[in-house]
Structure 1
Amino acid sequence: MDNAPRRVFGGVVLACVAMLAFGMYLQHVVGLEPCPMCIVQRYALILVAISAALAGASGRKGLQITGAVLLMVFAVAGAYVAARQSWLQWYPPEVVSCGRDLYGMIETFPLKRALPMIFRGGGDCSKIDWTFLGGTIANWSFLCFTGFAVFGCLMVWRRFKAS
């Protein structure tokens, strides 16, 4: 059995866990409060990690392909949210209001109304609290999610090519 895909999926899981741990560090140690879009990105990251873990735990090619496809879907969703947040940071809305937090939106409004509110963003989603090498947290998240999506594509291609 070829263990290379399993190790690579394990590396994705470790990268996701490291990113989540860094997010928790920024929240609980540095004191940065995540906006609704940041929280959605965390959920996407968790789903990427779960997909990679399930694909890596399986030795069956079909399950690895399914896991890689799910990984791609969740990574593209996370990249979309990160790109939207980056856009809001580069071009902040005219009227800045912090609005509700993610859980307040979901508890108060039906999901059909809450989702557009989350992606519309608000003042707290356009706020830049931290940068590294000129990139915001949303910029770096976008790059990581894009990398995960490309990885998923490569794994699907590699597994199909091996047939």
Structure 2
Amino acid sequence: MSAIAETNQLFENPRLIPAAIVAVCVGALGSALASEYWGGLDPCVLCIYQRYAYVGAMTLGLIGLVLAPRGKALKAVILLAGLAFLTGAGIAMFHVGVEQHWWRGTEACHAPAIDFNAPIAEMREQLLAKQPATCDTIPWSFAGISIAGFNVIASLLFAGGCVWAARRVTES
């Protein structure tokens, strides 16, 4: 079977595109949670914000499964999922800039300061409390690309895929 025939077959079943969006999001969120809980990579606040984009796209994919037979509505949902991926790419690009020290992150990106005027017992509690990860440290990278950098690439590809798929959905 040729690649064109396989591509056309994809668009004959309108549920496949939103199902693919959901699958991509489940995979991305699953790998993020696996790296956190099994890999020991604590997420910073910008990492969490990037997950929200996937949750939004996944929600739209689920809505698309319900709207699958409706061409214009399905096309709109797919385009909105693409916009969610594009938003995630923007957050990830901002995160890469913070990691590279091109600009400062949000206030939530920095670990809370220790109050050195507090009593010793309170300072001890502050030091022993688990500190959130800071956004400007790179906990893992491959070939010089951080997790946020890979997310930029993936999110842009997913957004482009949504635009490509929406253009090919038949309006009925």
TM (normalized to structure 2)?
A: 0.70
Q: Is the 8 A contact 1:55 1:66 kept in 2?
A: no
Matches within 5 A, 1:1-163: 2-3=12-13, 5-57=14-66, 58-91=68-101, 98-99=110-111, 124-159=134-169
Q: Is the 8 A contact 1:82 1:139 kept in 2?
A: yes
Higher mean C-alpha deviation, range 31-40 or range 51-60:
51-60
Once the 2 structures are TM-superposed, how far is the Cα of residue 2 of structure 1 from its aligned partner? 2.2
Higher mean C-alpha deviation, range 76-85 or range 7-16:
7-16
Partner of 1:119: none
Once the 2 structures are TM-superposed, how far is the Cα of residue 133 of structure 1 from its aligned partner? 4.0
What value does the CA root-mean-square deviation take over the aligned residues?
2.5
Q: Is the 8 A contact 1:92 1:126 kept in 2?
A: no
Give the distance between the partners of 2:22 and 2:70, measured in 1 at CA. 18
Q: Partner letter of residue 52 of structure 2?
A: Y
Q: Is the 8 A contact 2:85 2:159 kept in 1?
A: yes
Give the distance between the partners of 2:159 and 2:60, measured in 1 at CA. 12
Greater CA radius of gyration, 1 or 2?
2
Once the 2 structures are TM-superposed, how far is the Cα of residue 156 of structure 1 from its aligned partner? 2.4
Give the distance between the partners of 2:12 and 2:104, measured in 1 at CA. 54
| 1:125-162 per-position Cα deviation (integer Å, ceiling 9, x unaligned) | 111001234321101111111111101211222236x6
Give the distance between the partners of 1:159 and 1:93, measured in 2 at CA. 41
Q: Partner letter of residue 20 of structure 2?
A: G
Give the distance between the partners of 1:63 and 1:94, measured in 2 at CA. 40
Q: Partner letter of residue 145 of structure 1?
A: S
Secondary structure of the 1:33 match is coil
| Count of aligned pairs | 138
Give the distance between the partners of 2:164 and 2:156, measured in 1 at CA. 12
